[in-house]
Amino acid sequence: MTSENEGANGQAEAKSTSTTKGTTRKTTTSRRQTKGSLVKAQEPGNGEVFVLDDNTRIAPTDSLPNHRPIALSDFTVVGSLNMAGDRPIMADTVEVFTTDLLPGHRPVAVSTLPISELDFLPGNRPIAPNDVVDPPPSILMGYLD
């Protein structure tokens, strides 16, 4: 007996006629939590919540593609944009100085960073000293090595 490939490549392949016997294994369910598993918690009034190993709390949803979960957080949503889907606008405590200086009316945040009053880069961008860096310069340079 030959396969359909004989006409395509000129080589006859014998079909396997052996039968394989399937084995079954008894499965047991364990209540033990394994590493990398989800823990289902019940939040009063909020529905079901899953807690991951790193204590991230997620809630199931039907509104996202493939039923992706939403992580619970302390963010406050103050509005939404309808650009490529509904995108939330989060509340923040950043103090804005102005929105008229940068292209696209991007906000300029208020900062306590000391800047040089003498030197400015093109576009009147300020120059800040290098000794006021978080993390310290020795640690920051370690990332570049």
Convert the pLDDT of each residue in 84-100 to its tens digit: 777 888 887 888 888 88
Residue 10 in domain: no
SS3 readout for the chain: CECCHHHHHCCCCECCCCCCCCCCCCCCCCCCCCCCCCEEEEECCCEEEEECCCCCEEECCCCCHHHCCEECCCCCEEEEEECCCEEEEECCCCCEEECCCCHHHCCEECCCCCCCCCCEECCCEECCCCCCCCCCHHHHHHHHC
Q: For residues 111 and 130, state if they share a domain.
A: yes
Q: Encoding tokens for residue 7? A: 């006409």
> In this predicted structure, what is the pLDDT of residue 32?
47
pLDDT bin (cut points 50, 70, 90) of residue 109 is confident
Q: Are residues 84 and 107 in the same domain?
A: no
Mean pLDDT for the chain?
68
Which pLDDT value is given to residue 62?
76
Give the pLDDT score at 80. Answer: 84
Residues 102 and 144 in one domain: yes
Residue 109 belongs to domain spanning: 93-145
Residue 128 and residue 114 in contact, taking contact as beta carbons nearer than 8 Å: yes
Tally the domains of the chain: 2
Give bridge partners of residue 57 from the DSSP assignment: 51
Q: Are residues 114 and 145 in the same domain?
A: yes
Asked if the structure places residue 14 within a domain, the reply is no
Is residue 59 pLDDT above 50, yes or no?
Answer: yes
User: Is 72's pLDDT higher than 50?
Assistant: yes
Select from 72, 91, 110 the last residue of a domain. 91
The residue out of 76, 91, 106 marking a domain boundary is 91
Q: How confident is the model at residue 132 (pLDDT cuts 50, 70, 90)?
A: low
Question: Tokens 């079954």, residue?
Answer: 24
What pLDDT does 133 receive?
Answer: 62
**pTM (2 d.p.):** 0.32
